[in-house]
């Protein structure tokens, strides 16, 4: 057997033997090693802790006489055999755990938890703790187990145990482990990346959005994927480090109280948080976040939301069986899941699983109130005034300010000012966003990903977010975020310029003086019979209207749409630009425009790109539709009003302003989810649907 020495934390050496060949032939001892989260859960209610470390713990177990020769190893000084259990045998951990559980069985689940050679004694008060220590020492003395005093600690209010810091308030990440991850060097190969992810995964219950942070990293571990470290991977590592260094305190579960789950889903991941009210309002017990794989990615959003609930119940089954659980979801239809008459086979399996094992209620809760939204998608953040800011968002700001060292530096330089616990950039109404990755991620997603944001490019996204927020290097963050947006990469069309010379029309002097219109065709028919869009754009403000229609519509019907949607709102234009569609070259259309006093201008028959603004707007509309309808393309016409709002509220590159502002001289309010409990449920559902389309 090969012999080597490894250093211990105290500087001494641990002798290790390479027993791989022996272990391969050994019948495995299946005695269970306890789950660490189960041990931590037992500590609820304790305020005093002592930790004992057994001296060379394994060596306090004698080897069976008929197995001593199997431990033989060779050195230059001769061959030796172990009389006691050595480190490195495959069955050593199970054997030691079984022995500890056997001798301390009278105190397990009362005042002692044991993980191999770590013994933790916990009590509600000091008087009780002294008695518990006495009983533990009596057992160890009787069984002739010896404690290493230098590594033992007594009568503590906070104790480090298995990589965690435990106190009466709950469980924290061990500060020493936080420092280790903070200084972790960049992984240079697959093995080093696996080590980093293994370390981080140990603390995933503390990290909201864990699956989202690690997705770029786990993609590098896929088979046949070359290990190429890019900016997005380094950003994921830094975000994960920041999340671990600012991890929240998790309370310990009370088995006598009911539980609350908040679950949510996005395109790529599902998330949930397990909570209890132990007298101080709802507080987190654990977070869960899972990346979707394979067929799960193709589920409709309704099933993804339901899957988030199923995964949460499976993960926390040991807590939830036998207790009443309230499930909050921001997907309204899920509250009727148990009573829906028409379910798919998958949904039937899920309902059967929940109904067989759990007592639960599903309650609709608007997304801005749902903590799990932060695990998979952003809460709504359009209300900039502090008094209108939802509590979850304000809590993220408060936590971010507390952990961001740049805030105090900015204060010293007089770069910001405070109002109602929110920091503003000096001399501005823009909120200063702290360096807290989950918060900045929420804001970036809100101004880029949601339907009324439109998945526009980095310039428009930056202009939108910069109206209300500020942080250093925001432009770089927006650029990186937009270029890494999966939806944009898959959905957006090429911007390569067409060959030939363009002949632009003169710039008008006022809104809705010169108007162009065109059709988008080839769309799937909707239940309303629409299979085309009449796109109308004002050449001055760049404001657009997206009007659903059908390809078989007569010229008279198109004229009625034009009067109803354009003339009734903006008046009669002086010039109307179009291509040479038969509707626009018909006698009826020409005579109608003549009677209205509108001059007709046609684009070139062989170069419709002459009307470049309308062509570009058509591309934008198609891009918005692809992004909005990735789950269900059969109802694209229902999305058009919100998509029209998204386009008109985005800064146009040619004017430097939004079309809405140029037309009305003000910026619009963006849709905000209801903040109060539903009084008229359909109204709340309508606004929520605008966010979920």
- Which domains are assigned to the chain? 3-168 (3.30.70.270), 175-245 (3.30.70.270), 259-373 (3.30.420.10), 378-488 (1.10.340.70), 514-664 (3.30.420.10)
d(CA 47, CA 403): 27
Q: What is the 3-state secondary structure of 174-225?
A: CHHHHHHHHCCCCCCCHHHHHHHHHHHHCCHHHCCCHHHHHHHHHHCCCCCC
What's the mean pLDDT in 596-608? 68
User: Are the C-beta atoms of residues 566 and 514 closer than 8 Å to each other?
Assistant: no
What's the mean pLDDT in 60-89? 90
d(CA 439, CA 39): 32
Q: Which residues of 467-493 are buried (b: 16+ CB within 10 A; e: fewer)?
A: ebbbbeebeebbbebbeebebbeebbe
Residue 58's Cβ-side half-sphere holds a number of Cα atoms within 13 Å equal to: 16
d(CA 693, CA 691): 6
Sign of the CA dihedral running 237, 243, 247, 250: negative
Under 8 Å CB-to-CB from 480, ≥6 apart: which residues? 231, 232, 235
> Quick one: pLDDT band at residue 335, thresholds 50, 70, 90?
low
Please return the burial class of 419, using the count of CB atoms within 10 Å of its CB with bins 0-12, 13-18 and 19+.
exposed
User: Are the C-beta atoms of residues 374 and 442 closer than 8 Å to each other?
Assistant: yes
Could you tell me the pTM of the whole model? Answer: 0.47
Please check the confidence at residue 337 and state whether its pLDDT lies above 60. yes
Please check the confidence at residue 362 and state whether its pLDDT lies above 70. yes
DSSP string, 30-60: -PPPPPHHHHHHTTTT--EEEEEEBTTGGGG
Question: According to the model, what pLDDT value does residue 260 have?
Answer: 92
In this predicted structure, which of 91-95, 277-281, 660-664 has the lowest mean pLDDT? 277-281
User: Are the C-beta atoms of residues 616 and 420 closer than 8 Å to each other?
Assistant: no
Under 8 Å CB-to-CB from 257, ≥6 apart: which residues? 276, 277, 278, 323
d(CA 574, CA 590): 14
Predicted confidence (pLDDT) per residue in 542-563, tens digit: 899 999 998 888 899 999 999 9
Helix (H) / strand (E) containing 139: helix 126-143
Helix (H, G, I), strand (E, B) or coil at 449: coil
User: Are the C-beta atoms of residues 423 and 398 closer than 8 Å to each other?
Assistant: no
Please check the confidence at residue 387 and state whether its pLDDT lies above 60. no
DSSP string, 80-104: E--SBPPTT-TTHHHHHHHHHHHHT
**Torsion angle defined by CA atoms of residues 478, 484, 486 and 490, in that order, rounded to the nearest 10 degrees:** 100
Predicted confidence (pLDDT) per residue in 245-256, tens digit: 777 778 888 888
Question: According to the model, what pLDDT value does residue 477 have?
Answer: 86
Please check the confidence at residue 379 and state whether its pLDDT lies above 60. no
Please check the confidence at residue 479 and state whether its pLDDT lies above 70. yes
Instruction: Kindly report the backbone phi and psi dihedral angles of residue 399, in degrees, each rounded to the nearest multiple of 5, phi listed first.
Output: -65, -40
User: Are the C-beta atoms of residues 502 and 612 closer than 8 Å to each other?
Assistant: yes
DSSP string, 602-668: E--SS-GGGSHHHHHHHHHHHHHHHHHTSS-GGGHHHHHHHHHHHHHTSPPTTTSS-HHHHHHSSPP
Question: According to the model, what pLDDT value does residue 501 have?
Answer: 38
- DSSP, res 19: -
Instruction: Kindly report the backbone phi and psi dihedral angles of residue 90, in degrees, each rounded to the nearest multiple of 5, phi listed first.
Output: -60, -30
Question: According to the model, what pLDDT value does residue 490 have?
Answer: 52
Please check the confidence at residue 84 and state whether its pLDDT lies above 70. yes
- DSSP, res 686: H
d(CA 497, CA 341): 53
Which position has the higher pLDDT, 502 or 546?
546
Task: Give the closest residue to 263 by CA, choosing from 214, 298, 299, 311.
Answer: 311
Alpha carbon separation from 557 to 373, 416, 554, 602 (Å, rounded): 44, 57, 5, 20
User: Are the C-beta atoms of residues 545 and 614 closer than 8 Å to each other?
Assistant: no
d(CA 534, CA 607): 20
User: Are the C-beta atoms of residues 211 and 271 closer than 8 Å to each other?
Assistant: yes
Pairing of strands 118-123, 48-53: antiparallel
> Quick one: pLDDT band at residue 389, thresholds 50, 70, 90?
low
> Quick one: pLDDT band at residue 691, thresholds 50, 70, 90?
low
Which position has the higher pLDDT, 102 or 488?
102
Question: According to the model, what pLDDT value does residue 392 have?
Answer: 60
Question: According to the model, what pLDDT value does residue 545 have?
Answer: 93
Under 8 Å CB-to-CB from 392, ≥6 apart: which residues? 368, 369, 370, 371, 373, 374, 379
Radius of gyration of the chain (CA): 32
Question: According to the model, what pLDDT value does residue 82 have?
Answer: 92
Helix (H) / strand (E) containing 120: strand 118-123
Please state, for a pLDDT cut of 90, what percent of the chain lies above it.
Answer: 18
> Quick one: pLDDT band at residue 498, thresholds 50, 70, 90?
very low
Question: According to the model, what pLDDT value does residue 678 have?
Answer: 57
Q: H helices of 188-335, where?
A: 190-201, 210-219, 231-245, 301-315, 317-320
Question: According to the model, what pLDDT value does residue 677 have?
Answer: 54
Task: Give the closest residue to 86 by CA, choosing from 53, 59, 68.
Answer: 59
Q: Which residues of 27-36 are buried (b: 16+ CB within 10 A; e: fewer)?
A: eeeeeeeeee
Please state, for a pLDDT cut of 70, what percent of the chain lies above it.
Answer: 82
d(CA 677, CA 691): 17
What's the mean pLDDT in 384-412? 71
Average pLDDT, the chain: 80
User: Are the C-beta atoms of residues 676 and 481 closer than 8 Å to each other?
Assistant: no
Please check the confidence at residue 673 and state whether its pLDDT lies above 80. no
Which position has the higher pLDDT, 450 or 570?
570
Task: Give the closest residue to 50 by CA, choosing from 172, 137, 169, 175.
Answer: 137
Most confident by average pLDDT, 518-522, 546-550, 601-605? 546-550
Which position has the higher pLDDT, 243 or 161?
161
Task: Give the closest residue to 236 by CA, choosing from 184, 274, 285.
Answer: 184
What's the mean pLDDT in 215-221? 87
Please check the confidence at residue 284 and state whether its pLDDT lies above 90. no
Question: According to the model, what pLDDT value does residue 273 have?
Answer: 87
- DSSP, res 379: P
Query: Could you count the other beta carbons within 10 Å of the beta carbon of residue 40?
Result: 21
Residue 430's Cβ-side half-sphere holds a number of Cα atoms within 13 Å equal to: 20
Please check the confidence at residue 609 and state whether its pLDDT lies above 50. no
Question: According to the model, what pLDDT value does residue 671 have?
Answer: 62
> Quick one: pLDDT band at residue 605, thresholds 50, 70, 90?
very low
Q: Torsion-angle region of residue 294: left (phi > 0), alpha (psi -120 to 50) or beta?
A: left
Q: Give strand ranges (E) for 309-406.
A: 324-329, 359-364
Question: According to the model, what pLDDT value does residue 94 have?
Answer: 92
Please check the confidence at residue 656 and state whether its pLDDT lies above 50. yes
- DSSP, res 433: P
Please write down the long-range contacts of 225-230, taking CB distance under 8 Å and 24 or more positions apart.
Answer: 227/189, 227/190, 227/193, 229/186, 229/187, 229/188
> Quick one: pLDDT band at residue 616, thresholds 50, 70, 90?
low
Query: Could you count the other beta carbons within 10 Å of the beta carbon of residue 588?
Result: 13
Question: According to the model, what pLDDT value does residue 107 have?
Answer: 93
């Amino acid at each position: 057997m090969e012999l080597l020495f490894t250093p211990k934390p105290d500087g001494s050496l641990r002798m290790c033997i390479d027993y791989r060949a022996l272990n391969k032939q050994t019948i495995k001892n299946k005695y269970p090693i306890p789950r660490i989260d189960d041990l931590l859960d037992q500590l609820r209610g304790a305020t005093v802790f002592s930790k004992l470390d057994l001296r060379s713990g394994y060596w306090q177990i004698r080897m069976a006489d008929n197995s001593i020769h199997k431990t033989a190893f060779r050195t230059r000084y001769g061959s030796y055999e172990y009389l006691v259990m050595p480190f490195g045998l495959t069955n050593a951990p199970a054997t030691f755990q079984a022995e500890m559980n056997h001798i301390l069985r009278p105190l397990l689940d009362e005042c002692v938890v044991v993980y191999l050679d770590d013994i933790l004694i916990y009590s509600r008060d000091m008087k009780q703790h002294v008695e518990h220590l006495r009983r533990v020492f009596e057992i160890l003395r009787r069984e002739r187990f010896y404690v290493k005093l230098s590594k033992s600690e007594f009568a503590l209010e906070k104790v480090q145990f298995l990589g965690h810091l435990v106190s009466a308030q709950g469980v924290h990440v061990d500060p020493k482990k936080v420092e280790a991850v903070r200084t972790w060097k960049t992984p240079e190969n697959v093995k080093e990346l696996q080590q980093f992810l293994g370390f981080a995964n140990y603390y995933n219950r503390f990290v909201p959005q864990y699956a989202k942070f690690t997705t770029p990293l786990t993609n590098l571990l896929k088979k046949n994927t070359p290990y190429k470290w890019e900016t997005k991977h380094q950003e994921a590592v830094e975000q994960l480090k920041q999340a671990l260094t600012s991890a929240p305190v998790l309370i310990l579960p009370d088995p006598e109280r009911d539980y609350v789950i908040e679950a949510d889903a996005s395109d790529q991941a599902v998330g949930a948080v397990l909570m209890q009210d132990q007298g101080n309002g709802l507080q987190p017990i654990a977070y869960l976040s899972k990346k979707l794989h394979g067929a799960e990615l193709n589920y409709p959003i309704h099933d993804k939301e339901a899957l988030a609930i199923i995964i949460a119940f499976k993960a926390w089954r040991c807590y939830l069986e036998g207790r009443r659980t309230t499930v909050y979801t921001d997907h309204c239809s899920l509250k009727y899941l148990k009573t829906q008459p028409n379910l798919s086979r998958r949904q039937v399996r899920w309902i059967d699983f929940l109904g067989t094992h759990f007592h639960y209620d599903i309650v609709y809760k608007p997304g801005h109130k749902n903590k799990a939204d932060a695990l998979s998608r952003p809460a709504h953040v359009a209300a900039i005034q502090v008094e209108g800011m939802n509590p979850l968002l304000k809590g993220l700001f408060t936590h971010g300010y507390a952990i961001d060292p740049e805030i105090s530096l900015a204060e010293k330089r007089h770069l910001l000012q405070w109002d109602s616990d929110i920091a503003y950039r000096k001399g501005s109404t823009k909120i200063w966003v702290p360096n807290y990755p989950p918060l900045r991620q929420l804001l970036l997603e809100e101004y880029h990903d949601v339907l009324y944001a439109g998945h526009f490019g980095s310039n428009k996204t930056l202009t939108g977010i910069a109206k209300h927020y500020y942080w250093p290097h925001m432009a770089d963050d927006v650029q990186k975020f937009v270029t890494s947006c999966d939806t944009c990469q898959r959905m957006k069309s090429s911007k390569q310029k067409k060959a030939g010379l363009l002949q632009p029309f003169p710039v008008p002097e006022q809104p809705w003086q010169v108007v162009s219109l065109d059709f988008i065709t080839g769309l799937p028919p909707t239940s309303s019979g629409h299979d085309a869009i009449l796109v109308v754009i004002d050449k001055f403000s760049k404001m657009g209207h997206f009007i659903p229609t059908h390809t078989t519509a007569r010229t008279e019907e198109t004229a009625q749409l034009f009067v109803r949607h354009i003339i009734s709102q903006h008046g009669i234009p002086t010039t109307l630009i179009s291509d040479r569609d038969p509707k626009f070259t018909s006698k009826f259309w020409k005579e109608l425009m003549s009677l209205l006093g509108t001059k007709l201008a046609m684009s070139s028959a062989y170069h419709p790109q002459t009307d470049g603004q309308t062509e570009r707007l058509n591309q934008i509309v198609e891009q918005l539709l692809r992004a909005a309808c990735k789950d269900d393309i059969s109802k694209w016409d229902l999305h058009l009003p919100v998509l029209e709002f998204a386009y008109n509220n985005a800064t146009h590159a040619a004017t430097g302003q939004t079309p809405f502002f140029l037309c009305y001289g003000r910026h619009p309010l963006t849709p905000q989810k209801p903040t109060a409990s539903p009084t008229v449920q359909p109204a709340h559902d309508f606004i929520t649907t605008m966010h979920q389309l």
